[in-house]
Structure 1
């Protein structure tokens, strides 16, 4: 793991100690959150089976479309991320984080976090509580309280933001791991989710969320654009926010990332790119080869030497005539 710029110049033992402290914090955090998500998933299963057998039609409908809710999609993304994070923490404790499998785990852990967890967690949490504050019947009807406890609602709509916040503080992710792949994943999920709730409307003749039911079609289109735009805004915003906590990216790390993208061989430490001197040098080459600008300069000198008043190239006849004109008196 790369250490922040603020730790440059510190004693190696101090840096190692801080790294261990962070590793302990990350492991405890990922372990506790993994237990939290596992408990919520198990309890959510009980809610699902109770919902599909409930006497209230609205609650039965909620149970039937449970897999379509964006809240459940996002919670699944977070569960996968925490699982990968905990595995990589174990690899660090066993000092095998440099192995090929551990690197793949870290790679996909970061991909899942940046492309799925951050944008959709912030969207779900912000959009849910905003609409809930305006009119809860549009997003979480009161009838759901009979089967969904208040604490469960906060687990899937509030605590999810804590995952993003604490993870941002504990782990430096200053820039995308693979920008193209991350944007593809974010876009595919955004389009797939839109297809799901529009398909429910056309085939089941009802909206998955009541907030769509009070809108006209042009308002639905604008709201859909807002959903997609906010997702990409959250994606791009996470990197400058991360740099606020972990400092700017070290030059060595930039070089490594650029090398991966351009497939360039590694640059040896201490070597710099040769500087090209832009000052023209008009020297004769030993091998007889001259550069274009040198040839142009020599041609210019030759033209000056071959000018109409150059005494070196005048014939004796015309030189004598010139001398007569110069020495004559009017």
Structure 2
């Protein structure tokens, strides 16, 4: 039973899976360290304002991805040192599945799609050219591009059981609502908008923009479900999504 569960859980050798997780985790730790070093230097104009780097979803996502892949490493190590004799998932696996399906994948994908969509239209609305002298090109791609391929690698490495659709989307909506409240609070407390594009919108346009941004999280959650089924096939765990 345990062997069957392991086969469903991972499509690769457990040691190779651990190696991949260690490499990705090290990459995120390095990227996060470089990002913090740059922002701590005071060169980044946004870091000197209210909320610091924590008002940016890109930075929050970077921390989130680092924590998630750190959790993957811990889970791999624990399961290697203490092999389970039951096919029931451990608490660590359950936490890893929830973290990936509800937060890491949809939020990471949102950061990728929203950033490059706005950047391709007018980069000054999301990443002003002045930042090129502060944030190296490779770091920009590490924060906004590489995240998606690494999430897809993780999706292929291990099968992740989604919670019920209503529970998953509700949890993601809670995260989106908290971040939106944080953005509005920053505006209220400091008089600045977190992202340049917000300063160019009328009140009605701002409502539409924030609404579309928040509501787009749900389709990304459903995209994660779909990709999971395409890669791993339909299982009994994926049939209770509409309740």
- State whether TM-score is above 0.5: yes
**Is it true that 1:85 corresponds to 2:72 in the alignment?**
yes
Structure 1 residue 237 corresponds to structure 2 residue 232: no
Q: Which runs of 5+ in 2 are unaligned?
A: none
Q: Aligned pair 1:33/2:24, yes or no?
A: yes
- TM superposition outliers: structure 1 runs of 4+ over 6 Å: none
Q: Hey, what's the Cα distance between the residues in 2 that align with 1:63 and 1:153?
A: 22
1:93, CA displacement in angstroms?
2.1
Structure 1: stretches of 5+ with no match in the other structure: 5-18, 259-330
Write out aligned runs for 1:141-290 (5 A): 141-173=128-160, 175-249=161-235, 251=236
- More helix per residue: 1 or 2? 2
Q: Which has the larger radius of gyration?
A: 1
Q: 1:168–1:242: 8 Å Cα contact kept in structure 2?
A: yes
Contact 2:50/2:190 (8 A) holds in 1: no
- What residue is the counterpart of 2:41 in the other structure? 50
Higher relative contact order (CA 8 A, sep 6+): 2
Question: Aligned to 1:76, which of 37, 59, 63?
Answer: 63
Which residue of the partner structure matches residue 321 of structure 1? none
TM-score, scaled to structure 1: 0.65
Count of residues paired in the alignment:
235
Are positions 1:114 and 2:104 aligned together? Answer: no
Cα distance between partner residues in 2 of 1:97 and 1:132: 47
Which residue does 2:122 correspond to in 1?
135
Check 1:62–1:147 CA distance in 2 against 1; reply closer, same or farther (3 A cut).
farther
**1:2: Cα distance to partner?**
5.4
Q: Tell me the SS of whatever aligns to 1:208.
A: coil
TM-score (norm 2): 0.86
State the Cα deviation string for residues 40-65 of structure 1 (Å, max 9, x = none). 121122112212xx4x8x35546963
Distance 1:122 1:98, change over 3 A: farther
Distance 2:163 2:85 in 1: 17
Paired residue secondary structure (1:172): coil
- Give the superposed CA RMSD: 2.6
Q: Deviations over 1:206-229 (max 9, x none)?
A: 211011111111111111121122
Show the counterpart of 1:16: none
